[in-house]
Amino acid sequence: MEYAVEIENLSWMYKDNQEKEIWSLKNINLKLKKGEFIGIMGQNGAGKTTLCRCFNSLIPNRFNGRMKGKVIVAGSLDTFEKKIHECARKVGMVFQDPDSQFIRGTVEEEIVFGAENMGLSIDEIKNRLEWTLKEVNLSPEFLKKPPTDLSGGQKQRVAIAASLISKPDILVLDEPTSQVDPMGKLEVFEVIEKLRQSQNMAVVLAEHRADEIMKFADRVILIDDGCILLDEPPRQFFQKVDLLLAKGVYPPQVAQLGYLLHLDREIQLPKDEIPVTIEEGIACLTKILGKKLKEGESECNTAN
């Protein structure tokens, strides 16, 4: 099977950390199928951004340090051997800070830059521009504006469009809404949801918000101190409430409530029944309350 990304025994140490021998990634093994959506969670400094930088060869091409193992993109591109622009066609990146990713004068120039670099015809670039604007719900009236004039949510949508235009196999988003206001967050997640449904593209989303990961991801990875500790479907992942909390990751609040019901001496909710969505939480509470009511009823009957 051809994977969108294959990471084998990857370790990375930034040059600054070489004196103390601190590895930021330690023996990472990860395979990502085409069309698969992976969430990456972990506390500050766990290694999420460092891992994201490995997908499109920013590491080792733009950062100094020591690398072990390998990252193969789209079946054959070895990021260690290939130049960054070759990897950029296959892997789109959206960073935390919207302003850090713009280098052109207008939104249009910013979006079409990747397509121009691929040497596509003007007609093809036009078609792709139209398509990307639709994908990210951005009106053509923004095209002539400087990206700096846009709101945080709009900027991130431009950044997504700029990545999409080269029709990458993989889109990597590193906490794309952490510096965006609540309305902007909503706009960006709507676009991610649309991409999830319409494209057969692998998506990697590093994100602190458990509810969003729960909604989108096929698999979730817990990264801690540079190691992968968990790699599971979202349900099993978020049911491990105690481990996640110990590693500084907050599961959905409903799962935290479920965990208290698991610990409760009387209720003892089995661990694999801990709810992870609101709907499951309602079903779980209804079941527990129903049981309690029945117990109450039979106690009354016995007393009578």
Ligand X SMILES: Nc1ncnc2c1ncn2[C@@H]1O[C@H](COP(=O)(O)OP(=O)(O)OP(=O)(O)O)[C@@H](O)[C@H]1O
Our finding on whether 24 is near ligand X (CB under 6 A) is: yes
Q: Which is nearer to ligand X, 44 or 302 (CB)?
A: 44
Strand order in the sheet with 25-32: 25-32, 5-14, 65-73, 77-78
Our finding on whether 56 is near ligand X (CB under 6 A) is: no
At closest approach, how far in Å is the CB of 29 from ligand X? 18
Our finding on whether 239 is near Mg ion (CB under 5 A) is: no
Q: Which residues contact 137 (CB under 8 A, 6 or more apart)?
A: 157, 187, 190, 191, 194
Our finding on whether 44 is near ligand X (CB under 6 A) is: yes
Q: Which does 131 bind (CB under 5 to 8 A by kind): Mg ion, ligand X, none?
A: none
Q: Which residues of 119-156 are buried (b: 16+ CB within 10 A; e: fewer)?
A: ebeeeebeebbeebbebbebeeebbeeebeebebbbbb
Our finding on whether 46 is near ligand X (CB under 6 A) is: yes
At closest approach, how far in Å is the CB of 247 from ligand X? 11
Q: Which of 25, 32, 41, 49 binds Mg ion (CB under 5 A)?
A: 49
At closest approach, how far in Å is the CB of 202 from ligand X? 20
User: Residue 22's Cα: distance from chain center in Å?
Assistant: 25
Our finding on whether 49 is near ligand X (CB under 6 A) is: yes
Q: Which residues contact 182 (CB under 8 A, 6 or more apart)?
A: none
Q: Which is nearer to ligand X, 41 or 77 (CB)?
A: 41
At closest approach, how far in Å is the CB of 124 from ligand X? 36
Which SS3 state, helix, strand or coil, does residue 178 take? Answer: coil
Our finding on whether 45 is near ligand X (CB under 6 A) is: yes
Beta bridge partners, 171, equal: 92, 203
The helix (run of H) or strand (run of E) holding residue 31 is strand 25-32
The helix (run of H) or strand (run of E) holding residue 135 is helix 122-135
Q: Which of 6, 14, 215, 285 binds ligand X (CB under 6 A)?
A: 14
Q: Which of 17, 137, 151, 256 binds ligand X (CB under 6 A)?
A: 17
Positions in the binding site for ligand X (CB under 6 A): 14, 16-17, 24, 42, 44-50, 63
Positions in the binding site for Mg ion (CB under 5 A): 48-49
